[in-house]
Amino acid sequence: MALCKAEETLAEALNGFDFGGEIVGAVRYGKGHINDTFCVYTQNEAGDCVRFILQRINTNTFTDPDGLMENIVGVTDYLRSIIEQNGGNSARETMTVKRTKEGKYYYRDTQGGCWRVYPFVEGTVCLQKVEKPEQFYESAKAFGRFQQLLAGYDASTLHETIAKFHDTRNRFANFKKALEADVCNRASSVSDEINFVLQHEADCSVLMNLLEEGKLPLRVTHNDTKLNNILMDKATGTGICVIDLDTVMPGLALNDYGDSIRFGANHCAEDETDLSKVNFDLELFEIYTKGFMEAAGDALTSLEKEYLPWGAKLMTLECGIRFLTDYLEGDHYFKTHREGHNLDRCRTQFKLVQDMEANWDAMNAIVKKY
């Protein structure tokens, strides 16, 4: 069933949960590209405002909401028990899935929409870009720690929520299909971007080959480690809670590291239109590398460490390929807010790839240091 506008069934979804107080309002929230996210304001008996995150899962993207929510509940229950054993505050350091009135993990509305609720983790900030280098360092430690905490999680119990999610070679193949079909007649106007992808075909196989040869291990990874998928403590600046767990699956540690670098090791928005402002920042690269290695380095093999720059470059290339593919296919995957939005996003990614290539030796030297 095609998804209707989320607002159409919002009231129904709100009624699917007992928020423990009066619902005062619900507004669109966040900058995610996939799900429909709302912040719900409630007032409890004491008169305090209590907030929740209500999300309609994008079931075009995540076609098995039951498997998806089982993953999230499994992972967050596991994290909660470890955090509590270590004397941490599990209500702030991991997400908690709030059950529906019927005790389910999500509420299905009459249009087939699937809605879930998390308590809002208060006293935190969610950054869209790095303002101070320490923030990036803190996010590295938090994502590294996340991977460490899940090292003992039974990966065989996880559902693959999106098949071949970071199979860069397959992303290239899908791009070629979109190019050949060219359903919107857009290919002729983006030949530079297309050529950029075609010139990088061999790169798309580098990590996949190592994985298939058994040289890189599969680990339980997050797979979407953007800076805005982490909540930082407002008071201390520490990265405390990793969110957006839809893509927690077996994957490569290099991709988690790489996706953070892609998004955060620069000073621009992902959709910046002025490419002169889009520059890969080696200092930020170094600070993230330091934090990630401190938190997760002990668990990494020497080959994983050696290939960290490849993780950064390939996640950036792959993301650019995905934006361009979506542009060619008519913008049906990522949420877009203006004409050419996916194309703008694709261009920033390719500019960053070029910058990384120009700084390749320096990146490798930095990685060797840690």
Residues of this chain that bind ligand ADP (CB under 6 A): 29-35, 37, 53, 95, 118, 120-121, 126, 228-229, 231, 243-244, 246
CB of 337 to Mg ion, least distance (A): 16
CB of 31 to Mg ion, least distance (A): 8
Is the CB of residue 184 less than 8 Å from the CB of residue 324? no
Start-to-end CA span in the chain (Å): 50
Determine, following the binding rule CB under 6 A, whether residue 186 of this chain makes contact with ligand GN1: no
Both structure tokens of 56: 């309609």
Spell out the residues 6+ positions from residue 54 whose beta carbon is closer than 8 angstroms to its own.
10, 13, 14, 17, 26, 37, 38, 39, 40, 115, 116, 117
Q: Candidates 171, 226, 347, 351: give the one binding ligand GN1 (CB under 6 A).
A: 226
Q: What is the rounded CA–CA span in Å between residue 316 and residue 355?
A: 11
Determine, following the binding rule CB under 6 A, whether residue 32 of this chain makes contact with ligand GN1: yes
Determine, following the binding rule CB under 6 A, whether residue 229 of this chain makes contact with ligand GN1: yes
CB of 42 to ligand GN1, least distance (A): 25
Determine, following the binding rule CB under 6 A, whether residue 319 of this chain makes contact with ligand GN1: yes
Determine, following the binding rule CB under 6 A, whether residue 34 of this chain makes contact with ligand GN1: yes
Q: Which stretch binds ligand GN1 (CB under 6 A): 36-44, 78-86, 173-181, 221-229?
A: 221-229
CA quadruple 337, 343, 348, 352: dihedral sign: positive
- Indicate the residue among 165 and 370 with the shorter CB distance to Mg ion: 165
Is the CB of residue 9 less than 8 Å from the CB of residue 38? no
Q: Candidates 13, 16, 33, 149: give the one binding ligand GN1 (CB under 6 A).
A: 33
CB of 129 to ligand GN1, least distance (A): 12
- Indicate the residue among 37 and 364 with the shorter CB distance to Mg ion: 37
Q: Are strands 22-28 and 107-108 parallel, antiparallel or unpaired?
A: unpaired
Lay out the site mask for ligand GN1 across 241-280 (x = CB under 6 A, - = otherwise). Answer: ---x-xx----------------------x----------
Determine, following the binding rule CB under 6 A, whether residue 100 of this chain makes contact with ligand GN1: no
Is the CB of residue 111 less than 8 Å from the CB of residue 1? yes
DSSP states of 217-269: --EEE-S---GGGEEEETTT--EEEE--GGG-EEE-HHHHHHHHHHHHSSSS-
Q: State the residue for tokens 């542009």.
A: 327
